[in-house]
């Protein structure tokens, strides 16, 4: 079905043709006519389905109809992260290039004054993260009284990040009569509550099974000892000649450390997380998109929305604590029909998290045998001690081997580790039962105001 059959005007279909899009995606087929008809929307759309164009195209068509150029925005798109804000704004500009409409993006972490100047000049579409938008509202540098269409994109993520109070504050500043479009990958009670208070008789559109992993992504698990993850990862990247890999770690510190280690292994890498300045985040992402660096190491901040054309590899260096985040992370690859590979490095203490993810996916993830790789050297302190007291360490190693023959990979002297291909996770069996405190967050949805940093 061509785009024009959805009722889109030639200015938009031309811009779509320029981008090489010949047919609408399923989410676009469903939401575009509803939005053009002026209805509110509650859409459960998987990441990478083309939902940005799904809401952007009818908004542009609606705004393009009137010829006057008011200064205050008439469409407001709220998104959870700065990267997503920049990306959505780029899409709006690209789809609207044959229309006389202005688009502006505002988010935190960068100077507010240029944004104030730009807002003063006026815009039709405003894309914003909630925190910075409220800063502008407080300083009266933005007028939200003319908003006709409100979009909450990645609404579940915004709630996860603790933005609910900010969102409600923003809504109070909008005129009561407006069209509301809510996009969320998952439906929690909180999302349902927000939808109920926000939407008027919405068209409910569910595109993919909730929490379904992107069909085109091949998922692999390697079971490996924690202290060998880095060596295995470097091996996989080098031996597989991976050109572009997005790696998720659980902590910002972990992301920094892994980035340094990859660099030491000769793999150009950069980190992206909430403690980095916005310019560092933008630079790292740009370098990655342009293939100037091979690996981008990220915390959850990059798990949503980021669109990296034909990204071939995603790695879960550590599994996420919130099971749904797995789906979002791997959704960075295999986008818009392209194929991709998502690799998870799973240590024994993560076996519970893996089970929860498989339950969510309703299928097991295929386990691959760990290839032969050069093991990581032991930590420096151990090394120094070994040199200082060779006798003591020899007898300690012997007694360790006697007591725990089943855990060779974690305890054997480094030279012996993985000297031949290991059977899957023989040496790395889960020890879950002995550690009830581990994985205590498993399977729970993240509460609002959870630990993640706010980005705006
Ligand atoms: P989104 O889910 O909005 O982030 O979009 C995912 C990717 O699909 C982006 O790279 C879009 O540019 C691309 N895309 C959106 N609509 C289409 C389409 N109709 N045909 C091909 N690619 C598309």
User: Each residue of 406-433: pLDDT tens digit?
Assistant: 332 333 333 333 333 333 332 222 223 3
The contacts found for 64-67 with CB under 8 angstroms, 24 or more apart, are 64/9, 64/11, 64/96, 64/99, 64/100, 64/101
Question: What integer pLDDT is reported at residue 331 of this predicted model?
Answer: 79
Mutate to test the pocket of ligand 1, among 1, 25, 77, 333 (most ligand atoms within 8 A of CB): 25
Query: What is the pTM for the complete model shown?
Result: 0.66
> pLDDT tens for residues 198-211?
999 999 998 754 44
* Confidence grade of residue 2 (pLDDT, cut at 50, 70, 90): confident
The pLDDT-based confidence of 248 (bands split at 50, 70, 90) is: very high
Cα distances from 137 to residues 112, 140, 171, 202, 207, in angstroms, run 12, 5, 12, 28, 35
Residues paired with 78 in a beta bridge:
128, 152
**What CA–CA distance (Å, rounded) separates 243 from 295?**
8
Q: Which domains can be identified in the chain, with CATH numbers?
A: 3-206 (3.40.50.300), 217-361 (3.40.50.300)
CA distances for 401 relative to 155, 266, 384, angstroms: 52, 33, 21
Residue 240: is its pLDDT beyond 70? Answer: yes
CB atoms within 10 A of CB 195: 20
Backbone phi and psi for residue 354, each to the nearest 5 degrees, phi listed first: -60, -45
Comparison of pLDDT for 331 and 452, the residue scoring more? 331
Question: Per residue in 366-416, pLDDT tens?
Answer: 999 999 888 876 665 555 555 665 555 454 444 443 333 333 233 333 333
Determine the pLDDT at residue 421: 33
Task: For residue 430, give the 3-state DSSP assignment.
Answer: coil
Residue count of the chain: 456
CB within 6 Å of ligand 1 — which residues?
21, 23-25, 28, 48-53, 307, 335-336
Please tell me the predicted confidence (pLDDT) of residue 395.
Answer: 46
The Å distance, Cα 51 to ligand 1 centre, comes to 7
Q: What pLDDT digit, counting tens, does each position of 261-319 carry?
A: 999 999 999 999 888 888 888 899 899 989 999 999 998 876 665 677 778 899 999 99
Residue 336 alpha carbon to ligand 1 centre in Å: 6
Backbone angles phi, psi at 454, to 5 degrees: -80, 150
Residue pair 95/60 in contact by the 8 Å Cβ criterion? yes
Nearest CA to ligand 1 atom 9: 50
Residue 338: pLDDT band (50, 70, 90) is low
Region of residue 79 (left: phi > 0; alpha: psi -120 to 50; beta: else): beta
What is the CA(237)–ligand 1 centre distance, in A? Answer: 27
Which tens digit of pLDDT belongs to each residue from 54-104? 999 999 999 998 766 679 999 999 999 998 999 999 999 999 999 999 999
For residue 312, give both structure tokens.
């071939």
The predicted pLDDT at position 251 comes to 92
Q: What is the pLDDT of residues 124-180, one digit of tens each?
A: 999 999 999 999 999 999 999 999 999 999 998 899 888 999 999 999 999 999 999
Render pLDDT for 7-53 as a digit per residue (tens, 0 to 9): 999 999 999 999 999 899 989 999 999 999 999 999 988 667 889 99
Distances (CA, A) of 43 to 31, 54, 332, 333, 426: 8, 10, 20, 22, 44
CB 6 within 8 Å of CB 32: yes
């Amino acid at each position: 079905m061509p785009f024009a059959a959805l009722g889109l005007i030639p200015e938009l279909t031309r811009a779509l043709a320029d981008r090489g899009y010949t047919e609408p995606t399923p989410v676009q087929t469903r939401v575009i006519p509803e939005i053009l008809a002026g209805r509110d929307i509650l859409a459960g759309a998987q990441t990478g389905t083309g939902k940005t164009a799904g809401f952007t195209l009818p908004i542009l068509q609606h705004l393009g109809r009137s010829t006057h150029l008011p200064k205050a925005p008439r469409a407001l798109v709220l998104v959870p992260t700065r990267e997503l804000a920049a990306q959505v704004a780029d899409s709006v500009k690209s789809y609207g290039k044959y229309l006389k409409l202005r688009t502006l993006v505002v988010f935190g972490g960068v100077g507010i004054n240029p944004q104030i100047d730009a807002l003063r000049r006026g815009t039709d579409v405003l894309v914003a993260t909630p925190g910075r938008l409220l800063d502008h509202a407080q300083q009266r540098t933005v007028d939200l009284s003319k908003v006709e269409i409100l979009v909450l994109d990645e609404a579940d993520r915004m709630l996860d990040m603790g933005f609910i109070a900010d969102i409600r504050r923003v809504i109070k500043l909008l005129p009561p009569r407006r069209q509301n479009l809510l996009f969320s990958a998952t439906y929690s009670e909180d999302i349902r509550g927000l939808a109920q208070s926000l939407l008027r008789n919405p068209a409910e559109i569910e595109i993919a099974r909730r929490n379904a992993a992107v069909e085109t992504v091949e998922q692999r698990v390697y079971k490996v000892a924690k202290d060998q993850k880095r060596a295995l990862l470097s091996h996989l990247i080098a031996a597989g000649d991976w050109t572009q890999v997005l790696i998720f770690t659980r902590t910002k510190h972990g992301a920094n450390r892994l980035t340094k280690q990859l660099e030491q292994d000769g793999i150009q890498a950069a980190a992206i997380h909430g403690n980095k300045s916005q310019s560092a985040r933008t630079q790292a992402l740009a370098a990655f998109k342009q293939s100037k660096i091979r690996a981008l190491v990220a915390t959850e901040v990059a798990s949503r929305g980021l669109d990296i054309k034909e990204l071939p590899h995603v790695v879960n260096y550590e599994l996420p604590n919130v099971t749904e985040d797995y789906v979002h992370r791997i959704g960075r690859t295999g986008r818009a029909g392209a194929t991709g590979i998502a690799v998870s490095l799973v240590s024994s203490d993560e076996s519970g998290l893996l089970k929860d993810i498989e339950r969510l996916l309703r299928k097991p993830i295929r386990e691959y045998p760990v290839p032969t790789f050069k093991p990581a050297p032991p930590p420096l302190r151990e090394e120094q001690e070994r040199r200082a007291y060779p006798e003591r360490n020899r007898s300690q190693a012997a007694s360790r081997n006697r007591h725990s023959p089943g855990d060779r990979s974690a305890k054997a002297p480094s030279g012996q580790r993985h000297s031949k291909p290991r059977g899957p996770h023989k040496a790395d069996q889960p020890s879950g039962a002995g550690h009830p405190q581990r994985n205590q967050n498993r399977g729970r949805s993240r509460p609002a105001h959870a630990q993640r940093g706010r980005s705006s």
